[in-house]
């Protein structure tokens, strides 16, 4: 088991990532580098936490990528990218704040479901999909999109804005449609930029 430690900037807190399972050394290096890069940008958002965190990162080649209760992160090492790792770290960040960061962004952007029960009853009906108030969404919307995914994609798009722009265009949600050319200038980009800037003070 590989243990990677990250010191939260301007804090006595240290976060541990217990990496369980094996992967090619290049993949492990990418994982560690991505964690460090994530904390370089978002670390201030952890400073007000009272205790250090211990995350278990499970690597395999069969399961999907997801964040689960108990600070468990599951990553499939097949085609694993910085984008995927960052997305799951963003869920971990939201969870560390009792999922309130995604709720704050949901309120800020005026997003949500028109009728959540009908969405669950008819998940393929686009009319009832999650609505990205104050568009554009980071990289588009699908039937699995909700406030938690919206926040995770926002954080990831903020860190990788050029990749986000390409993904949005590929899905038919080009930023230019709403008068933007860069994710940082969109309502979601500004929201997260403000959140990070506030914690740096």
This prediction has a pTM of 0.95
Q: What is the pLDDT of residue 94?
A: 97
Which of residues 53 and 9 earns the better pLDDT score? Answer: 53
Sheet holding 2-7, edge to edge: 2-7, 14-20, 54-60, 72-76, 66-68
What rounded mean pLDDT belongs to the chain?
Answer: 94
Which of the residue ranges 50-59, 96-105, 119-128, 166-175 would you say has the lowest mean pLDDT?
119-128
pLDDT (tens digit, 9 = 90+) per residue, 124-155? 889 899 999 999 999 999 999 999 999 999 99
Fold annotation for 2-96: Zincin-like (3.30.2010)
DSSP 122: S
Q: What is the pLDDT of residue 38?
A: 98
Q: Please state, in angstroms and rounded to a whole number, the distance separating the CA atoms of residues 93 and 104.
A: 13
- With pLDDT > 70 as the criterion, what percentage of the chain qualifies? 99
Q: What is the pLDDT of residue 200?
A: 66
Domain with CATH 3.30.2010 in the chain: 2-96
pLDDT (tens digit, 9 = 90+) per residue, 48-88? 887 899 999 999 999 899 999 999 999 999 999 999 999 99
Q: What is the pLDDT of residue 1?
A: 85
- Distance linking the first and last C-alpha atoms of the chain: 36
3-state secondary structure of 20: strand
DSSP bridge pairs for 56? 18, 72
């Amino acid at each position: 088991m590989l243990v990677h430690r990250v010191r939260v900037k301007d804090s006595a807190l240290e976060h541990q990532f217990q990496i369980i399972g094996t992967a090619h050394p290049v993949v492990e290096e990418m994982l560690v580098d991505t964690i460090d890069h994530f904390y370089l940008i978002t670390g201030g958002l952890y400073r007000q936490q009272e205790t250090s965190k211990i995350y278990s990162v499970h690597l395999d080649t069969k399961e999907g990528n997801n964040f689960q209760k108990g600070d468990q992160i599951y990553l499939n090492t097949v085609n694993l990218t910085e984008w995927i790792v960052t997305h799951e770290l963003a869920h971990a960040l939201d969870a560390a704040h009792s999922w309130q960061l995604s709720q704050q962004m949901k309120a800020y952007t005026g997003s949500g479901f028109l009728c959540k029960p009908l969405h669950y009853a008819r998940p393929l009906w686009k009319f009832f999909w999650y609505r990205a108030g104050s568009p554009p969404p980071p990289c588009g919307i699908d039937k699995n999109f909700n406030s938690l995914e919206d926040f995770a994609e926002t954080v990831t798009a903020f860190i990788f804005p050029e990749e986000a722009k390409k993904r949005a265009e590929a899905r038919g949600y080009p930023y230019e449609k709403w008068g933007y050319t860069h994710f940082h200038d969109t309502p979601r980009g500004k929201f997260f930029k403000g959140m990070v800037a506030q914690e740096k003070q």
